[in-house]
Amino acid sequence: MGKTLFDKVWDAHVVRQLDGGRSVLYIDRHYIHEVTSPVAFLGLKNRGIKVARPQQTTGTPDHNVPTLNQDRPVAEEQSRKQLESFSRNCEENGVEYFKLGSPGHGVVHIVGPEQGITQPGMTIVCGDSHTSTHGAFGAVAFGIGTSEVEMVFASQCILQPKPKTMRITVNGKRGKGVTAKDIVLYIISKISASGGTGHFIEFAGEAIRDLSMEERMTVCNMSIECGARGGIIAPDQTTFDYVKGRNRAPQGADFDKAVAAWKELYSDQDAHFDTEYAFDAADIEPMITYGTNPGMGMGITGTIPSGEGLSGSDKVSFDKSLNYMGFHSGEKMLGKKVDYVFLGSCTNGRIEDFRQFANAVKGRKKAPNVTAWLVPGSKMVEAQAKAEGLETILNEAGFELRQPGCSACLAMNADKIPSGMYSVSTSNRNFEGRQGPGARTMLAGPLVAAAAAVTGVISDPREVFNL
């Protein structure tokens, strides 16, 4: 029987198979950030050892950083101390890191790919659940806990049970105004926020192959929001073209050699998946979430479901969720008021997202009732947005660019949505309080965010922008 793409990459990295199903897995790349590395570094220190393979480790501080005035000392004391100790830990261990404000700095899952550090066929871990993003390159990439970060520091290996495999095929062509975010929100709304539990998902089919690399990253980024360990997409010409020429990608003849190996990374015809789903891209419209988990999503023209068929604790949490959001079953989302719009995060903070948003709002004005936070995922995205004239377009429409960081994706820094306020957010989680205590998050793609930002209410981007 043939092998799945996931099996090919996983099996090639097994150092030792243990009784009970766990493997010692070799890790090619280890990304670190300031939130989940301090305790692991301390662990090393206490054992009197250092990072074993610093050249396979890359750091960037992102969660706590301010997104304004990054050239000035960080005002918030706890954040400042955390950034200082992150730099110190990296330096003491010979680990390269992108300092706040430096040209390569940004959100960890944006920085790795744009530097060409993320490559097909690798195993990649980070003490961060959205490490799944890197699966877009045909890498086995997944989030780990702080004690596992220490394990990888010390040994460049990790102890892992092998997940089950799932394939989600999206057939056909997507309609106008449908972004990668809409595709993945649609999938999660169909299989639920726990539908992928215990699995590693391969995304396949025409609508997935048609996606750019950045769009594939958006899909894989959110694969964990249905409970999966990660997502993966077979590398193809789109992948090779993206990697080629990047800072840390193999160069010249080495690149050609690498591509020849990467071309073997696909699921064999007769490979077996534990679970399979298939969807039709034509059924997907721009999406918006109405509740407090990413599975509570709907087409933008639809009505909030009734929760019929739910019982027991499921019904209780459905009702609690609508209550938190201040919404009712049977209502339309279209026309609901919006206070904040957040464009950014490792889901939708890349240059294509900024292009899409800027081109949509070009020649229009930000709605007066909306506060918009447009936060590039990295310094490279910020620089590119300026060089391409996107910043000018945005400024003319009444928007401003901030500086890179996780920002309002989670309430760990100064960018918090005030209690009770409604936020259309291009990030990946809409949990209670995720964007600030009491904040109400509606997840969407960059086009729905742009439509909300210029109309001040939830609107269909296909109508607002005549798509």
Ligand X SMILES: CC(C)[C@H](C(=O)O)[C@@H](O)C(=O)O
Bind-site residues for [4Fe-4S] cluster: 346, 406, 409
CB of 61 to ligand SF4, least distance (A): 11
Amino acid letter, 365: K
427 binds, among ligand SF4, ligand X, none (CB under 5 to 8 A by kind): ligand SF4
Does residue 415 bind ligand SF4 (CB under 6 A)?
Answer: no
Does residue 345 bind ligand SF4 (CB under 6 A)?
Answer: yes
Among 425, 427, 441, 455, binds ligand SF4 (CB under 6 A): 427
144 binds, among ligand X, ligand SF4, none (CB under 5 to 8 A by kind): none
- In the complex with ligand SF4, the residue whose CB is nearer, 239 or 413, is 413
Does residue 183 bind ligand SF4 (CB under 6 A)?
Answer: no
CB of 231 to ligand X, least distance (A): 14
**Dihedral angle at the C-alpha atoms of 114, 97, 234, 429, nearest 10 degrees?**
-90
Residues binding ligand SF4: what is the number (CB under 6 A)? Answer: 13
Annotated binding site: which residue ranges? 346, 406, 409
Contact between residue 150 and residue 435 where contact means Cβ atoms under 8 Å apart:
no
13 binds, among ligand X, ligand SF4, none (CB under 5 to 8 A by kind): none
Among 62, 215, 339, 391, binds ligand SF4 (CB under 6 A): 62
62 binds, among ligand SF4, ligand X, none (CB under 5 to 8 A by kind): ligand SF4
CB of 36 to ligand X, least distance (A): 5
- In the complex with ligand X, the residue whose CB is nearer, 63 or 336, is 63
Among 90, 204, 409, 417, binds ligand SF4 (CB under 6 A): 409
Does residue 63 bind ligand SF4 (CB under 6 A)?
Answer: yes
107 binds, among ligand SF4, ligand X, none (CB under 5 to 8 A by kind): ligand SF4
35 binds, among ligand SF4, ligand X, none (CB under 5 to 8 A by kind): ligand X
Q: Which range touches ligand SF4 (CB under 6 A), out of 155-163, 253-261, 331-339, 404-412?
A: 404-412
- Map residues 99-138 to x or -, x wherever contact with ligand SF4 holds by CB under 6 A: --------x-x------------------x-x--------
Q: Which range touches ligand SF4 (CB under 6 A), out of 253-261, 270-278, 406-414, 437-445?
A: 406-414
**Residue of minimal Cβ distance to ligand X:** 129
Among 208, 375, 406, 464, binds ligand SF4 (CB under 6 A): 406
150 binds, among ligand SF4, ligand X, none (CB under 5 to 8 A by kind): none
With tokens 């744009």, the residue in question is 114
β-bridge pairing 287-289 and 297-299: antiparallel
Radius of gyration of the chain from Cα atoms?
Answer: 21
Binding footprint of ligand X on the chain (CB under 6 A): 35-36, 63, 128-130, 143, 410
SS3 letters across the chain: CCCCHHHHHHHCCEEEECCCCEEEEECCEEEECCCCCHHHHHHHHHHCCCCCCHHHEEECCCCCCCCCCCCCCCCCHHHHHHHHHHHHHHHHCCCEECCCCCCCCECHHHHHHHHCCCCCCCEEEECCHHHHHHHHHCCEEEECCHHHHHHHHHHCEEEEECCEEEEEEEECCCCCCCCHHHHHHHHHHHHCCCCCCCEEEEEECHHHHCCCHHHHHHHHHHHHHHCCCEEECCCCHHHHHHHCCCCCCCCHHHHHHHHHHHCCCCCCCCCCCCEEEEEEHHHCCCEEECCCCCCCEEECCCECCCCCCCCHHHHHHHHHHHHHHCCCCCCECCCCECCEEEECHHHHCCHHHHHHHHHHHCCCCCCCCCEEEECCCEHHHHHHHHHCCHHHHHHHCCCCECCCCCHHHCCCCCCCCCCCCEEEECCCCCCCCCCCCCCEEEECCHHHHHHHHHHCECCCHHHHCCC
CB of 62 to ligand SF4, least distance (A): 6
Residues that bind ligand SF4 (CB under 6 A): 62-63, 107, 109, 128, 130, 345-346, 406, 409-410, 427-428
